[in-house]
Each structure stands twice: as C-alpha cells, then as structure tokens.
Amino acid sequence: MFPSLEIKLKRYEELELLLQDPAVMADVHRMLELQREYGGLQKIAVQVREFNELEENISAAQEMLDEESDKETREYAQAELDELTEKKNGLEEVLEDLATAGDSITRGSLIMEVRGGTGGEEAALFARDLFDMYTKYAESRGWKYETIDFSASDMGGFKDITFSISGESCFHELQFESGGHRVQRVPETETQGRIHTSAATVAVMPEATDVEIDIKPEDIRIDTMRAGGPGGQKVNKTESAVRITHLESGIVVKCQDEKSQHKNRASAMRVLRSRLFDYEKEKVDSARAEQRRTLIGSGDRSQRIRTYNFPQNRITDHRIGLTLHKLDKVLAGEMDELIKELLEFDRQERLGGNNND
C-alpha cells in the first residue's frame, strides 16, 4: 500500500545484515555511517512491519469468520477483526504521514546557518536571538546541538553562525526554517525609541554523509591562515583557520572557531558536504521546476518567510498565513505550534499534489 515505505523497509533489512558482516564491523568509519542510516530508518521499519503483520492477522480473522458456523466462535472472530481493523486504520494514518514526509523523516541531523542581513548591529543581535530560539527548541526536544563556527559582532550578536543539530526527526521538523526572517522592534542601539526593521537569513541543510557526498582531494583546495577577530592571542598567532574551496561548484567554507587546525578542517568538511548535498538537491529541483513543488519547501534565502513584531508580540509566517500573538514564547523555544502548522500545511499540500497526479 505504501511502496516508498516498503523500499525503506527493504533497505533497513539489508542494513541489519550488513551490520553483522565481520568486514563491516572491522571498518569503524563505515560501521558508523551504516548505523546512522539504520537508526534513521528504524522508526519507519517498525511501523511498516507492524502494518504488514496486522494485514496478515486481519486476513486470518476474516478467513475464520467465513469458515466458522458456530455463533460464539463467529462473535469472537468478528470482535477480533473489528479490533485489528481499528488498529490498522490508525496505523494507516501514521504511515500516510511518513510516506508524504519523504526522505526528511529519516534524517537524524542537520547543519543550520544563520546570518545577519540588512540592519547592521541590530541584524546581528537578531541572528543571535534566532540561534537561541533554535537551540532552546532543540533542548526541549532532547536533541543535541554543536556550534561549528561563528563570527561575533561588537555588541555580542552574530554576523553569522553555523551549528549542527542531531536527534530524531530534527531535520523533518526544522526543514522549513530556511529563508528570510524579518524583525520589527526598537533596537538596543536606538536612543529615541523608534521601531526599526532588520533581517537575518537562515539555511537548513540535511547533514550529508561520506557515502552521499564523496569529496576527493583533487576536488578541493585547502588554505590555512591565522584566525581573524576575537579569539585570544593563542588563536591568532597560529594558522588554525581553514578555508576549503570546492573547485567545481565554487562553494567556499571557512572555519576558525577551534584552536586546532585539524578540528577546523573536519568542521569545514562537514559544512561543505552538506552545502554540496543542498547544491545538488537545488539542481534537481530546478530541473523539475515545471512540476508541482511545495510552497513552503523551496529553502530560498531570498524569500521572506516570517516577521517577528516585538511591539505587538506577534509572529507571522507569510507562507501559510499563520499569526501567533506569543512571540516571547516562540523566541524562548516554544516552537511546537508553529512547526506543527507548517508540517500539516506541507502534508496537505503533498496529499493534494498526489491526488492530482
């Protein structure tokens, strides 16, 4: 009934066997990659197996009902059939959600970049607020986050910050945060109480694995340099900063947050791999431009997706027409209602698109 989920179950079963292979167990790097993929597919596999088992039990109960003439036995078979059918219908809705969610549901980690846009220092402070919002939400969901690199502003904001979040369904839930975020408030730098409008951009990318994006040494150029900006004498006196340029795409990643050049290089490769994955995905999306695409899933940074109005304690998502008068709570990490509405909008849109195909 759900071909895409059956394919994922088959892959899950393949991984079960691979993870018992001595050759795989001896290769720590490959073992970790397969375990990550296995973990991402586990939720789907368990649900699909349960659904298949329910279908088999329903068939057996129906067969008993058709063959039995004894009234008491038939009543028992009918009661069992009704119970199994109810369970199946409930699970069917869950699987429908998993099927329409696509591959995002199996992603266990993401890379997020937040950059201050128009508005100078105020934009950098808003970028910090967004970072705090996402990390507080991550904490409430039991996810882990790690700062990869950042550039601080003079007043403690972020000109830009790159960080990772890992945990069950984190990419699925946060995938629609990509785009332009606009803030309307009286800045800390404003002395006359005037409301200013500033902006920041957010990019959310699934964290790609070595298997998905294979970067060969000849594909990149690596430069090292002294870290710039605040960071202490030890950082600035050593060539710990790393800049990696992907020659074909022109994508450039720089990391300088760590004092170790080795750690900065590893962090830069993580970001580069995810940017390349996103780059390839965008090319596929462009090739399918004539086909229906979800309104909220374009991930275009130039698209203004949301306004944060402090005087009215209002947050508005322009893509789905949702307005909430609880901006203070959302910025404190209470994003559940906002994310639920975005996911439901996307679900209905995908279902509508599938019905029209």
Lowest mean pLDDT among 138-147, 236-245, 291-300, 327-336: 291-300
Counting Cα atoms < 13 Å in the Cβ hemisphere of 256 gives 23
How much is the pTM? 0.72
pLDDT digits (tens, 9 = 90+) for 59-101: 988 988 888 788 888 888 899 999 999 999 999 888 887 776 6
Torsion of CA 27, 32, 37, 40, to 10 degrees: 160
Q: Which residues contact 35 (CB under 8 A, 6 or more apart)?
A: 19
Is the pLDDT score of 287 beyond 70?
Answer: no
d(Cα 96, Cα 92) in Å, to the nearest integer? 6
Confidence of residue 234 (pLDDT cuts 50, 70, 90): very low
Kind of pairing between the strands at 179-185 and 304-309:
parallel
pLDDT digits (tens, 9 = 90+) for 165-180: 998 889 999 999 999 9
Counting Cα atoms < 13 Å in the Cβ hemisphere of 307 gives 16
Out of 1.20.120.530, 1.20.1600.10, 3.30.160.20, 3.30.559.30, the CATH code matching 217-287 is: 3.30.160.20
Is the pLDDT score of 357 beyond 70?
Answer: no
**Contact criterion met (CB below 8 Å) for 61 and 21:** no
Confidence of residue 312 (pLDDT cuts 50, 70, 90): very high
Distance (Å) of CA 13 to CA 33, 49, 249, 327: 16, 11, 36, 45
Is the pLDDT score of 296 beyond 80?
Answer: no
- pLDDT value at residue 29: 80
CATH class of 3-104: mainly alpha
- pLDDT value at residue 223: 93
Q: What letter would DSSP give residue 106?
A: G
For the chain, what percent of residues have pLDDT higher than 70?
Answer: 87
For the chain, what percent of residues have pLDDT higher than 90?
Answer: 55
**Contact criterion met (CB below 8 Å) for 26 and 18:** no
**Contact criterion met (CB below 8 Å) for 338 and 324:** yes
Distance (Å) of CA 291 to CA 284, 302, 342, 353, 357: 11, 21, 21, 10, 10
Confidence of residue 292 (pLDDT cuts 50, 70, 90): very low
- pLDDT value at residue 285: 60
d(Cα 307, Cα 230) in Å, to the nearest integer? 31
- pLDDT value at residue 235: 46
Intervals of CATH 3.30.70.1660 along the chain: 107-204+298-356
- pLDDT value at residue 193: 82
Lowest mean pLDDT among 124-138, 183-197, 311-325: 183-197
pLDDT digits (tens, 9 = 90+) for 16-38: 999 999 999 999 888 887 887 88
Q: Is the dihedral of CA 289, 291, 295, 297 positive or negative?
A: negative
Is the pLDDT score of 291 beyond 50?
Answer: no
pLDDT (mean) for 92-116: 81
CATH class of 107-204+298-356: alpha beta
pLDDT digits (tens, 9 = 90+) for 42-58: 888 998 999 999 999 99
- pLDDT value at residue 286: 59
- pLDDT value at residue 300: 59
Higher pLDDT pick, 347 / 147 = 147
pLDDT (mean) for 128-146: 97
- pLDDT value at residue 214: 81
What is the three-class DSSP state of 224?
strand
pLDDT digits (tens, 9 = 90+) for 140-165: 999 999 999 999 999 999 999 999 99
pLDDT (mean) for 300-307: 81
**Contact criterion met (CB below 8 Å) for 91 and 71:** no
- pLDDT value at residue 14: 92
Intervals of CATH 3.30.160.20 along the chain: 217-287
- pLDDT value at residue 288: 47
**Contact criterion met (CB below 8 Å) for 247 and 219:** yes
Higher pLDDT pick, 317 / 101 = 317
Is the pLDDT score of 249 beyond 80?
Answer: yes
Provide the b/e sequence for 238-260 (b: ≥16 CB within 10 Å).
eebbbbbbbeeeebebbbbbbee
What is the three-class DSSP state of 27?
coil
Intervals of CATH 1.20.58 along the chain: 3-104
